[in-house]
Amino acid sequence: MEGEGNGKSIEKLRVDIDSIDYKIIDLLLKRNEIAHKVIKLKAASGAPVFDEERERLIIEKLSRYAGGRLSNDFIEKLARVFLWESKSIERPNSFRRRNDKIFSLLATRPAVIAGPCAVESEEQIMAAAAALSAAGVKFLRGGAFKPRTSPDSFQGLGDEGIRLLKAAAAKYGMFSVTEFLEINEIERHYDNVDIIQIGSRNMTSSGFLKYIAKISSQDCKPIILKRGFGSTIKEFLLARDYLARDGNPNIALCLRGIRTFEQIESSMRNTADLAAILELKSLTGSPVFFDPSHSAGRADFVPQLAEAALALGADGIMFECHPAPEKALCDGGQCLTLVASAELSKKVLSSKP
Ligand code: PEP
Ligand code: MN
């Protein structure tokens, strides 16, 4: 009898919950209506639709209003959904939804992007994809166009590298991540990759950033922007603003070590800019990745740096691996073996967000 009474009470409470949910939908639609008026006025005056600073202020205001009754993280997620939703309605595009889904997967802690520095052969990229996907990794990296310091070093397989990366990602149900160095490469391969990487050397190339901002604004293809090795945090965020300016909100940041005086006598390739994770997380809602491979330049330091980055709040890591690191044509010294990669990935992916 008592159970029946409870059942009735629950039913009644559920009616109340439903009515609140309907009101939330009505309010969101009302909000979209007003947001569209703002978008139209902005478009008429030539102002960009996305305004990161305004979005940040809205999130701050809402967090203050909630006054701790809801977590800041929850407020931020909620606000991002309705801020971006209202803006995407203006540009219906079948690819947009897919790209938003990829980005939200990328932005879900703890994410892992892994793969070889450069795609070298079908066997190599397939072996890496097989091992990584078996460990739960969803994002397969692999360079086809490599930004090498020496013109005599291996420059990547180019178009063929993109073809092999795409085939490996498709075979193992992963999303591909690759860097482009030139506009003509993007023109040829825009539709062949899931996530565009902008490397450390190109972060300061404003013309290149503008081109990618424009082309990616149509379908909001996710972009992962690496920090220039000599760039300040402010410059890094301004580069991100270049990319977001035409309306693509799907931009992730990746720290990868910076050059300091330490490199004069250190075995490490760069100085791991780990504390910058804390600062970026406090300044921006963009997902923040850390690349322990380029930070240290030493495979033996990679697992601990990766764990440190996640402990500091990074949303994910990007690391390099190779079926036979000693034979790698590029960055072998910082590549994990496939066994070590699987071990690190499993550990990271099973850790609490
Ligand atoms: C890379 O990730 O392949 C790469 C070249 O990294 P970075 O641009 O950080 O040097
Ligand atoms: Mn590399």
The percent helix, strand, coil of the chain (3-state, each to 5) is 55, 10, 30
pLDDT tens track for 26-80? 898 888 888 878 877 877 777 766 677 788 889 889 999 999 899 888 888 888 7
Helices (H) and strands (E) in the chain, counts: 13, 8
Counting atoms of ligand 1 from 1, which one is nearest the CA of 146? 5
What's the start-to-end Cα distance of the chain, in Å? 43
Q: Is the pLDDT of residue 201 over 80?
A: yes
Nearest to 331 by CA among 94, 120, 45, 78: 120
Query: Is the distance from CB of 143 to CB of 158 less than 8 angstroms?
Result: no
Nearest to 288 by CA among 303, 273, 300: 273
Question: What is the rounded CA–CA span in Å between residue 199 and residue 257?
Answer: 12
Q: Is the pLDDT of residue 1 over 60?
A: no
Residue 143 Cβ contacting ligand 1 at under 6 Å: yes
Place of tokens 């491979």: 293
Structure tokens belonging to residue 287: 């997902």
Residue 294 Cβ contacting ligand 1 at under 6 Å: yes
Structure tokens belonging to residue 313: 């709040």
Residue 297 Cβ contacting ligand 1 at under 6 Å: no
Q: Collect all residues with Cβ–Cβ distance below 8 Å to 163 and sequence separation of at least 6.
A: 192
Give the pLDDT score at 46. 72
Residue type, 133: S
Query: Is the distance from CB of 254 to CB of 318 less than 8 angstroms?
Result: yes
Question: What is the rounded CA–CA span in Å between residue 147 and residue 153?
Answer: 10
More confident residue, 212 or 2: 212
How far is the CA of 351 from the CAs of 110, 136, 306, 329, in angstroms? 8, 13, 12, 32
For residue 92, name the pLDDT band (cuts at 50, 70, 90): very low
How far is the CA of 67 from the CAs of 59, 75, 179, 213, 284, in angstroms? 12, 11, 42, 36, 20
Counting atoms of ligand 1 from 1, which one is nearest the CA of 257? 9
pLDDT tens track for 289-348? 999 999 999 999 999 999 999 999 999 999 999 999 999 999 999 999 999 999 999 999
Long-range CB pairs of 92-95, under 8 A, 24+ apart, other chains included = 93/218, 93/219, 95/218, 95/219, 95/220, 95/221
Q: Is the pLDDT of residue 194 over 90?
A: yes
Mean pLDDT of the chain: 92
The CA 128 to ligand 2 mean position distance, Å, reads 15
Q: Collect all residues with Cβ–Cβ distance below 8 Å to 348 and sequence separation of at least 6.
A: 110, 112, 306, 307, 310, 317
Nearest to 341 by CA among 33, 57, 134, 197: 134
Sign for the pseudo-dihedral over CA of 297, 299, 304, 306: positive
pLDDT tens track for 101-111? 999 999 999 99
Read off the pLDDT of each residue in 219-235 and give the average, rounded to a whole number: 97
The CA 302 to ligand 1 mean position distance, Å, reads 15
Read off the pLDDT of each residue in 255-266 and give the average, rounded to a whole number: 96
The CA 125 to ligand 2 mean position distance, Å, reads 14
Protein residues near ligand 2, an ion, with CB under 5 A: 117, 331
pLDDT tens track for 173-189? 999 999 999 999 999 99
Residue 293 Cβ contacting ligand 1 at under 6 Å: no
Atom 4 (ligand 1) nearest CA:
199
Element (H, E) at 290: strand 288-290
